[in-house]
Amino acid sequence: LNFPGGVVQFTPELKFLHGFSDDRINCYRVLGDDGQLVSTNFVQINKETALKMYRDMVTLQVMDTIFYEAQRQGRISFYLTTNGEEAINIASAAALKSEDFVFPQYREAGVLLWRGFTLQEFANQCFGNKHDNGKGRQMPAHYGSKEHNYFTVASTVATQIPHAVGAAYSLKMEGKDACTVTYFGDGGTSTGDFHAAMNFAAVMEVPVILVCRNNGWAISTPVCDQFRSDGIVVKGPAYGVGSIRVDGNDALAVYAAVDAARKVAVSESRPILIEALTYRAGHHTTSDDSSRYRPMEEMEWWRESQNPVARFRKWLQGQGWWSGQHETHHRDSARQQVLDAIQVAEQTEKPGLEEMVTDVYDAVPSDLRRQFMSVKTASPNIHPRDYP
């Protein structure tokens, strides 16, 4: 019978659909753990692109290490790393176009790095000085850049997913040859925003790529306590969204998946869900001690055995494009550049106090003006070093 929604066949059999299957959806992979090809079904990338991908992955590692140490030294108030998720960051960014709009969660600094955000700009934001795009109003590591089509990070979980879908709908209405891409963790799929966005994206057929970094943990909550489904990939077809599961520690696989997803999103105006399986090899943030809820041996195993940067390096070396000498030189150079950027950012003065109340209202309301005057009077006395 042609019910609303389509033709349905009848059956005399009383049978419920199973809630889950013992057979998990396969995971697309190109590089094995040893950095050798296990598939020929991937997008070929040239030497220049491959080397930039690797250099940016290493730079991201170095930047994370030094900024994390800076927070531990009390020089910045907060930080979070992309430990174990460098391939998802850089490889996905490499497969996108500059005109595509990025709606990040908070672990996608590598996407911004690939697009040309400088180490000095990263440092300026983390130290909240007068050159910070956010004028010191955001927490450290909450980047944003209009120049790079990178929407400002918000800590609130999953709010960026509906934003990305709505923006994709706008691109469709304007006939733009571009898409939006949004990133979120497995914890984000446990929110209503994810499900509302998925449904809207499917019904309105918008050009959006939804990238879930399924890294096993939503802060201290493991995926087994979040859902009974086979991860995230199975949620897509239920909404009518094309989906794929990919090895998030395999840069070539991530690049190929995002490249193919973008073609579908832009040329066919259809949403695509990518579940990138990985592991959060570091603490959730500097406010977290993950040894309280998972064994340190587990973290070390993932860092060593499934390190996406090391795996990609092995492939590059096999191509004859990288060597130990290249490695030493680039890591030393990246480290010095980050240290120099921090030194400059730390010594640069903070934004003027008046920036606290600008850019929201055309004219500052009287009650906000009174609060500002109170702060302006007190702050130089409380923080004389920051407000000379």
Statement to judge: residues 73 and 184 lie in one domain: yes
- Identify which has the larger pLDDT, 347 or 353: 347
Residues in the chain: 388
> What pLDDT score does 376 carry?
83
Angle at the Cα of 218 (from 214 to 223), degrees rounded to 5?
A: 60
Which residue range(s) make up the domain with 363?
353-387
Statement to judge: residues 124 and 153 lie in one domain: yes
Statement to judge: residues 50 and 185 lie in one domain: yes
Written as one string, the DSSP assignment of 17-61 is PPS--SSPPP-B-SB-TTS-BS-S-S----HHHHHHHHHHHHHHH
Cβ-contact 234, 291 below 8 angstroms: no
The answer to whether residue 307 sits within a structural domain is yes
The answer to whether residue 16 sits within a structural domain is no
Residue 194 zone, left/alpha/beta (φ > 0; ψ -120 to 50; rest): alpha
Statement to judge: residues 306 and 365 lie in one domain: no
DSSP three-state, residue 266:
helix
Statement to judge: residues 376 and 293 lie in one domain: no
Q: How many CB atoms lie within 10 A of CB 19?
A: 7
The answer to whether residue 9 sits within a structural domain is no
pLDDT at 385 over 90: no
137 given a catalytic annotation? no
For the chain, give the mean pLDDT.
95
- Token reading at 383: 């923080």
Strand partners, 102: 150, 181
Q: How many CB atoms lie within 10 A of CB 212?
A: 30
| pLDDT grade for 388, boundaries at 50, 70 and 90 | low
Q: Which has the minimum average pLDDT: 69-73, 280-284, 379-383? A: 379-383
Q: Which residue in 29, 213, 245, 280 is the catalytic one? A: 280
Statement to judge: residues 344 and 371 lie in one domain: no
> What pLDDT score does 18 carry?
84
> What pLDDT score does 354 carry?
86
The answer to whether residue 12 sits within a structural domain is no
User: What CATH code is carried by the domain that includes residue 317?
Assistant: 3.40.50.970
Statement to judge: residues 147 and 124 lie in one domain: yes
Statement to judge: residues 357 and 344 lie in one domain: no
What tens digit of pLDDT does each residue of 11-52 get?
A: 999 999 888 778 899 999 999 999 999 999 999 999 999 999
> What pLDDT score does 387 carry?
63
pLDDT at 379 over 80: no
Statement to judge: residues 357 and 263 lie in one domain: no
> What pLDDT score does 60 carry?
98
Mean pLDDT of the region 72-101: 98
Statement to judge: residues 347 and 371 lie in one domain: no
The answer to whether residue 147 sits within a structural domain is yes
- Count of domains observed in the chain: 2
Statement to judge: residues 150 and 265 lie in one domain: yes
Distance, in Å, from the CA atom of 24 to the CA atom of 102, rounded to the nearest integer, reads 30
Mean pLDDT of the region 114-120: 98
> What pLDDT score does 375 carry?
85
Mean pLDDT of the region 234-250: 97
The answer to whether residue 165 sits within a structural domain is yes
Percent of the chain at pLDDT > 90 equals 91
Q: What does the buried/exposed string (b/e) look like for 129-156 if buried means 16 or more CB atoms within 10 Å of the residue's CB?
A: bebbbbbbebbbbbbbbeebbbbbbbee
> What pLDDT score does 382 carry?
72
Statement to judge: residues 189 and 54 lie in one domain: yes
- Identify which has the larger pLDDT, 181 or 378: 181
Alpha-carbon 178 to chain mean position: 19
pLDDT at 386 over 80: no
At residue 3, what are phi and psi to the nearest 5 degrees?
-70, 165
55 given a catalytic annotation? no
Mean pLDDT of the region 163-178: 98
284 given a catalytic annotation? yes
DSSP three-state, residue 275:
strand
Strands 6-7, 2-3: pairing kind: antiparallel
Written as one string, the DSSP assignment of 61-118 is HHHHHHHHHHHHTTSSS-----TT-HHHHHHHHHHS-TTSEEE--SS-HHHHHHTT--
What tens digit of pLDDT does each residue of 201-222 get?
A: 999 999 999 999 999 999 999 9
Q: Which residue in 293, 329, 370, 383 is the catalytic one? A: 293
